[in-house]
């Protein structure tokens, strides 16, 4: 088990739960609901990764990359959607935002956050699969 991942998970779950109270007040409520859902699901994913931590056969550096890539991707995904919901920046999330667009800086922040999630998630998934390979 990795208690640190559990802590990160429950902080994200708490942030997502609190954020749910403000969904109707957001510039893009549907994107705020997406942020809530993503935060909750990512929290559960961090709990699952933390629960099977001892089964990853990785070096110390690889374990650090695994841990922080999962944490970063979870929080950046939630935050990117939340920033988009608050500032009405929906260019990167057309389905959830209904085509609404915000200021240039807000759109860039959301795009950078959500774009980096893709990279971090792939790193996390590849390291997870590598760490769970059969060792002979």
pLDDT per residue over 10-47, tens digit each? 999 999 999 999 999 999 999 999 999 999 999 999 99
- Which residue segment(s) compose the domain that 76 sits in? 3-131
What's the predicted TM-score (pTM) here? Answer: 0.90
* Within a domain: 136: no
Number of domains in the chain: 1
Local structure of residue 64 (DSSP, 8 states): H
> Is residue 90 over pLDDT 90?
no
Question: Which residues neighbour 127 within 8 Å (Cβ) at sequence distance 6 or greater?
Answer: 58, 62, 65, 66, 69
* Within a domain: 82: yes
* Within a domain: 96: yes
Question: Which residues neighbour 88 within 8 Å (Cβ) at sequence distance 6 or greater?
Answer: 27, 28, 97, 100, 101, 102, 106
Q: How confident is the model at residue 103 (pLDDT cuts 50, 70, 90)?
A: confident
* Within a domain: 28: yes
* Within a domain: 101: yes
The dihedral sign for the CA sequence 34, 27, 101, 12:
negative
Structure confidence by residue, pLDDT tens digits, 52-77 = 999 999 999 999 999 999 999 999 99
């Amino acid at each position: 088990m990795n208690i640190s991942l559990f802590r990160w998970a429950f902080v994200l779950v708490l942030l997502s739960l609190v954020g749910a109270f403000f969904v109707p007040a957001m510039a893009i409520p549907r994107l705020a609901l997406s942020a809530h859902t993503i935060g909750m699901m990512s929290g559960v994913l961090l709990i699952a990764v933390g629960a099977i931590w001892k089964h990853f056969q990785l070096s110390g550096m690889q374990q650090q990359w695994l841990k922080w890539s999962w944490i970063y991707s979870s929080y950046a995904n939630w935050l990117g959607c939340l920033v988009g919901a608050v500032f009405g920046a929906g260019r990167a999330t057309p389905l959830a935002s209904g085509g609404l667009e915000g200021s240039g800086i807000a759109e860039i922040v959301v795009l950078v956050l959500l774009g980096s999630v893709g990279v971090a998630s792939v790193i996390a998934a590849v390291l997870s699969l590598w760490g769970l390979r059969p060792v002979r």
